[in-house]
Chains A and B, each alone.
Chain A
């Protein structure tokens, strides 16, 4: 059939609308449905999926309570046993998640906002300074490499364990071109005890006085 035959003689229609109406008249029929059964593998899929669904529900339902994370609370007690502490690796992890957002990945800080950890006497000098700054924080004006900084660093004593503080201080004392002695968790424990009555952040004067008095 050609277009002309299908629509009849084009001359019969005076407009597109009439043409459409003629065509629409052939659209009366509602779609019908056949009675096929479908391929066998479709039923195989249905059975497999049903079986998997009920198996999954039975296996992972956990308990009928308000508790979340039921499937993940049974931690292996062996895993939490004391492992040999790799100071640099742990320190790097702690640095990445706690310190890096201000002091940056390479320890260079943000000029004018957060002081650098590179080429700093405090970082590589007497370990008490970096440890106490990490524990209780620091505020007030300081000058590093000719740039003035005046930001407040909060203390992380509550967030970090002795081992974590020791690791991260060891890490910054031995990275970014720094080279200084290790700090052990026991050192940190002693220092934590020594400053246990201190709740506010340190200023430069207070910290220097505290370190000298020890």
Chain B
């Protein structure tokens, strides 16, 4: 009997659903084992009965629940709670569900400040009142799913890697736990490291990164040592892949695309704070952490939930 799967998207762009499709051929092997009973992105299944006759939010019983996206408003909180009740195992899919994701950058400001900026403060916007009719109220911050309900397995990534979805789904279907190893992206990265920056100041990722094309990765210098801010040292491993054509050399995805790691897999272990850890990583190879523009946001780009980003405390007017 196929396992029943309920999938729900909350505060999200939809990229992680595309990642499910991106599984490609292995998806055909998985499909006979899966029966989708609820999936707003694919099927028309309403929360309050098909004609709106229901009075309570209903999600069909399922063996596996997948939630992508963080929790931004009361409706999403409600849906997440209903998913938890209906599903035996709950998987958080993507960085938004795991850590709050890009939308959680908004946690750096208070709600009133956001409303002010979006509806009145921006030059290109005609000032208007904050809409409050027929809309679910926003929560005070963008939350990761596990701040609202218990989550059994995490699949981070922005968007997440199809291979990991397959691994996680297979593990869950077999009743095994799924966790990524507590290693850093650097542990999976094959580039050459000399433990010292090549000198100069921090560069922006749009400037040319020197990559020895067509040669083994061992001949390319570590991007961070070249002076680009790479979040590899403080980011969890798991995205590295190596196809047959590439000689099975595992390379983290962004590195393979000649870009430094952006940290979408989140902190290496629970409770770690990449913002603090990155300071050490930068200074230990001789780069100046002062030069990182917009440090708080950049080093918390995908992980602003779970209280990592919050409005800075107001300075008291005077001491007491």
Answer yes or no: do A and B interact: no
Q: Could you tell me which A residues sit within 8 Å of B by CB distance?
A: none
